[in-house]
Chains A and B, each alone.
Chain A
Amino acid sequence: MLWYKNWLETRFRIVFMLLFAMFPIALHTLTPLPGGSAHQGSAVEMRGAVGFFALYYSIIPLALAGSGIKTQSPFRATKGLHGSMYFTLSLPVSRFQLLAARVSVGMLETILVLAILPCAIWTIFPPLRNYVTGSDLLKYWLTVSICAFALHFLGVLLSTVLDDLWQNWTSIFGVFFLRWILSRAPLPESANIFRAMGESSPLFTHSLPWTTMGFSLAVAAVLFLISMRVVERREY
């Protein structure tokens, strides 16, 4: 029933994120440029554009993150702040269960919404259609989903210490800051999840970036453990 509660709590959020994800497709479809797609040129030249798209879609796993303790209610402007957190904490379940249920729902929602990204790429970058196969698109979806987990769990950690408004703004700032840091820090290329979702994605390499995916999962696991410690030790 915790999954049910989390689904009810986040269903409007996922609708909004689906609209957010489909916005580039809608924009491209509704505002065709003279002479056809603006994205002409070789597939290699599109790496930068795909990289930008990946950055745009990086917001999604952060926006769908939560810790399962404080209520993330939609339309709060008319309802006021919510103390239903105390009702949640009065249930005979561990804080770990509350966190795990919310994180599980968030991860599933992230994977679902990110399924639109390959569709967006396919729609907005027609030259890529000669270059990628259906298998590449599936690999791309898998890569983006796994790489997004690191960002998602960053959002989970932020949600354990910040309220929704600060969590959202910190997340957006965090995405851009992280991308900047990863592009400049003396780290192996395989640690750059943004590259794996963009310029070095399976769309161009035709193979899964196992090392980057493993790195993302490791970072996600560490962030989850930290979030769990925060949630278990916090006073409410």
Chain B
Amino acid sequence: MTDQVIEARELRKSFKGQPALAGLNLEVPAGSIFGFLGRNGAGKTTTIRTLMGLLKPDGGDACVFGLPAGDLTAGIEIRRRTGFVMEDKELYPYMTVEQILRFTRSFFPAWRTDLEKKYLKLFDLSSSRKIPDLSKGMRSKLMLLLAISHGAELLILDEPTEGLDPVGVEDLLRELVSISAAEGSTIFFSSHQLEEVEQIADRICIIDHGAAVVTGSLDDLKTRYRRLRIVLREEIPSPIQWGMGVERLRQHGRMVEVLVSDNFDTILKQAQSLPGSSVECFPVNLKEIFLEYVRSN
């Protein structure tokens, strides 16, 4: 049995000749909190819809729980084990909170009434309220409650914090970590909010133009990536030949900035050996890694 809850190999999808996914490779380990990052139009929602069986890929394959995502029969089993919160967070406008709970509960024999009650109270959702009367943030919370309460092994969340106020965001992020720890659920979420991803994710993938540009453990990435700022005594007439491990290089006059992902000690020694240079080393946060990759891609 695979340890990867989600696997995608060379996933391709185009809409009217425009590629949305261009050979995406993705692996999401069981029990992880996986952040899926990208610009608008990078392919995040297309990936999620493909995993949920709403779109059929033009090439490659995608599996959830080892089951083919595009298969109609396997899709039912996938959805039985997956909680899904879509980006637009729309529910049936003719139902109340109580009605949608009753409706959704009927599809999941393993429904967790304890979690339902807990999150109704925590999210301050009144059972008698009609869904159209809920704010967008409250609908987000209700959708998350529906996803969590059916005992899902995997939560796929598309922009889960959109519409939430800062307190709501903090509550939600805390609960996602708690769910992952207590229930062992895998959480796969897409977001633009890099600070939020950095706060809770243990693995990330940055997608750009339909392909993964960076994937790995967040701690490893932040340890591996460092920035060197080198100020030279005078401009060097010819470009510096750096060793392996330099991801990005910017040179403005006498100042050189180097983003290093590997072989840091060697690069540092090389920087320090440059004539009259002063070298400063900075840690790199997720936002900087993200911006470096998507801007230059």
Interface residues of A (CB under 8 A from B): 1, 4-5, 8-9, 11, 71, 73-74, 79, 82-84, 86-87, 89-95, 232, 235-236
Contacts and interface: CB of A to CB of B under 8 A. Distances in A.
B86 A87 contact: yes
Given A82-B90, A94-B73, A235-B54, 10 more contacts: A11-B94, A82-B93, A83-B86, A84-B93, A86-B86, A87-B86, A89-B52, A92-B79, A235-B55, A236-B55
Given A79-B132, A232-B72, A235-B54, A8 B95 contact: yes
B282 interface: no
Q: Which of A1, A4, A71, A92 has the most CB of B within 10 A?
A: A92
A87 B91 contact: yes
A82 B52 CA distance: 19
A91 B80 CA distance: 7
B77 interface: yes
Q: Which of A82, A84, A89, A90 has the most CB of B within 10 A?
A: A90
Contacts of B72: 94-95, 232
B105 to A, nearest CB: 8
Contacts of B89: 83
Nearest to A91: B107
Interface size class of B (residues with CB under 8 A): 20 to 34
A90 B94 contact: no
Nearest to B106: A1
Give 7 closest A-B pairs by Cβ, nearest first.
Answer: A92-B80, A83-B88, A83-B90, A1-B106, A90-B84, A86-B86, A92-B79
B39 interface: no
A83 B107 CA distance: 20
B92 interface: yes
B84 A92 contact: no
A4 B103 contact: yes
A9 B99 CA distance: 12
Nearest to A82: B90
B56 interface: yes
A8 B130 CA distance: 13
Contacts of A11: 94
A73 B103 contact: no
B112 interface: no
Contact of B77 (A89, A92, A232): A92
23 contacts: A5-B95, A8-B92, A73-B92, A74-B94, A79-B132, A82-B90, A84-B91, A87-B90, A87-B91, A87-B143, A89-B52, A90-B52, A90-B84, A90-B86, A91-B104, A91-B107, A92-B77, A92-B79, A92-B80, A92-B108, A93-B107, A232-B72, A235-B56
A1 B102 CA distance: 9
Interface string B190-208: 0000000000000000000
A236 B95 CA distance: 23
A4 B107 CA distance: 13
Nearest to B158: A86
A86 B88 contact: yes
B94 A8 contact: yes
B244 interface: no
Nearest to A95: B72
A9 B107 contact: no
B76 interface: yes
B90 A86 contact: yes
Nearest to B88: A83
Contacts of B84: 86, 90
Contact of A236 (B54, B91, B107): B54
Nearest to B147: A90
